[in-house]
Each structure stands twice: as structure tokens, then as C-alpha cells.
Amino acid sequence: MKWGWLFSLPAMLFFSTFFLLPLVALGIRSFFETTGAGAWTFSLATYREIFTDPYHLGLMWRTVKLSAITTCVSLLLAFPVALHLRQMSSRMRALVTLAVLSPLLTSVIVRTLAWLVLLGPQGTINRALISIGWQPYQLMYNDVGVVIGLTHVFLGYMILSLMATLDRVDDNILLAASNLGANRWAVLWHVIIPLSLPGMLTGAVLVFTMSASTYATPVLLGGSKAKVLAAEIYDLAINYLEFGMAAGMAVVLLLVVASMVFCVTRYVEGGRRKVIFE
């Protein structure tokens, strides 16, 4: 296998040409300013603007906040599902897995339009609320709509991650806990949750990074009132041709996501947890 690495060359070449190189270019671009025709100077003005302008800081905060909320909501929704799936027949599991992954198989436009029909000011939910005499509730063009939309798409990743770890938990360990005097809740709290921590973290990293960087769902369900970083980058680059700012924002988004992944990895592999989590 001395020459085995040769087989990975096509993929490596593809990634470095079309992904790594542009990324580096983007990073470099964010540190330069055009001064007059064709002249470039090194400058930190872009970052100064991003980190001092309350508007941009607000966007950053909302992006992180929405991603974090989506992650938490997904975790809370996914955990009972994954736990229940443990006991199901493999046939039922395949069906449920398909069902939770179905949002990913649907076009983002169709999916979002469907949410529009349900959540809109004149949508099914609000009409139902009005018909029973309640006040209509703003479910779209705000943070609520974005979280609902993102959770819908990414919940499947969380369920799959949790399933992967929960499936490896030996039934006898749960029986042992109950045999030693733990009731259902104690088994859940002291055994199941700690043992599914790796799955929770993997799922959280996936959902958080995808939520933070996704574009279409927050734009369509959040509108201009719940704008996120990805939408701002798109606007800057396509509508305002502010490539320097767009590049800077992209770098900031990348750093936010990367630091999150880094922290989780460090946590999982840190100290003696490595022994427990293999």
C-alpha cells in the first residue's frame, strides 16, 4: 500500500483546486482594499467595520443564536425518537429513518412554500387559531419561522447521530442499572444520557454548522427581519458588489463554525473521556 495514496489524488486535486484555493483567495481578499484603479493595499478596515458596526454584530449574534436554538430544539425532539427507535424492528427503523430524512429529499423551494402555507399570516395554523377565537400568531418572517424551518431540515441528522451511539449501548447495561435500584428516570439520567453524549455532540456539530451556514431557509422563512450572516454575505457580494466585506463576513462565519467544531472535538477527546468514548 505504499502507493495507495495515489488513488486519493483525483479527489485531493479536485478539492484543492475548487475548494481550498478559492477559500485561501477569499481569506486573502478580506485583508485588502482597493485604492484607486487596480491598486491594492493591505488593510484591516473590513474587520474593523464588521466588529464595530452594531448591525453586523447583530447579524452575527442572531446567526449564532438561531443555530444554537435550532440545535437545542433538534436535540430535544430527536432524543425521544432515537430512544424509541432502539426498540423497533429493523423494518420500522428503516421507515422512520426515511421519514426523518425526507425533508432533505425535497427541494428547498417546495419545502419552504409548504411551510408558508402552514405558518403564514393567512396560513392553516393561524386560520385555525382565529376560528377557535384566539389571536393570530406571528410564525413567519421572524426567528420562530427560521427555527421551525431549520429544525425541520436538520432534525434527521440529529436523529441519525443519536441512533448511531444509542444502538451501541448494550441492553444489559440498562438492565443492570435498573437491577441495581435505578428507576426509569435514573436509568435515563445516569446511564442513557451520558452514554449518548458522543452522539449528541456529533449531532450538535452537524446541526449547528449547517444551520449557521445555510442560506435559503432563513431567507425565505425569516425575510429581512430575521436576516442571518449567509444572507448578508449573499447581498454584499451579489447586490452591492462589496467583495471585500463579503469575504470578511465569510471568514468570520467560517471562524465561528470552526471554533465550535474545535471546542467539541477538544471536549470529546480531552482528558479521560477518550477512554470512555473509544
Alpha carbon distances (Å) from 20 to 16, 17, 26, 122: 5, 6, 10, 46
Which of 164, 182, 188, 210 contacts another protein by CB under 8 A?
182
From 151-159, 189-197, 211-219, 254-262, give the range in contact with another protein by CB under 8 A. 189-197
CA dihedral 203, 255, 58, 50 (to 10 degrees): -170
Residue 181 contacts another protein per CB under 8 A: yes
Which of 13, 114, 130, 176 contacts another protein by CB under 8 A?
176
Cβ 188 to another protein shortest distance, Å: 13
CA atoms of 65 and 77, how far apart (whole Å):
18
Residue 185 contacts another protein per CB under 8 A: no
Cβ 105 to another protein shortest distance, Å: 36
DSSP β-bridge partners for residue 34:
40
Which of 6, 9, 105, 275 contacts another protein by CB under 8 A?
275
Residue 39 contacts another protein per CB under 8 A: no
240 by DSSP, 3-state: which?
A: coil
Which of 127, 190, 225, 266 contacts another protein by CB under 8 A?
190
CA atoms of 97 and 160, how far apart (whole Å):
8
Size of the residue set binding another protein (CB under 8 A) = 21
Residue 52 contacts another protein per CB under 8 A: no
Residue among 65 and 274 whose Cβ is closer to another protein = 274
The three cell numbers of residue 18 are 475548487
Instruction: Give, as ranges, the residues between 97 and 156 that touch another protein (CB under 8 A).
Output: none
- Of 40, 5, 67, nearest to 211 by C-alpha is 67
From 77-85, 149-157, 180-188, 211-219, give the range in contact with another protein by CB under 8 A. 180-188
From 33-41, 188-196, 203-211, 235-243, give the range in contact with another protein by CB under 8 A. 188-196
- Of 213, 194, 198, nearest to 265 by C-alpha is 198
Cβ 165 to another protein shortest distance, Å: 12
DSSP β-bridge partners for residue 33:
41
- Cβ contact 97:82 at 8 Å: no
CA atoms of 120 and 140, how far apart (whole Å):
6
CA atoms of 86 and 262, how far apart (whole Å):
30
Cβ 190 to another protein shortest distance, Å: 7
H/E element, 125: helix 124-131
Residue among 88 and 258 whose Cβ is closer to another protein = 88
CA atoms of 104 and 75, how far apart (whole Å):
18
Question: Which residues would be at the binding site for another protein (CB under 8 A)?
Answer: 170, 172-173, 175-183, 186, 190-191, 194-195, 197, 272, 275-276
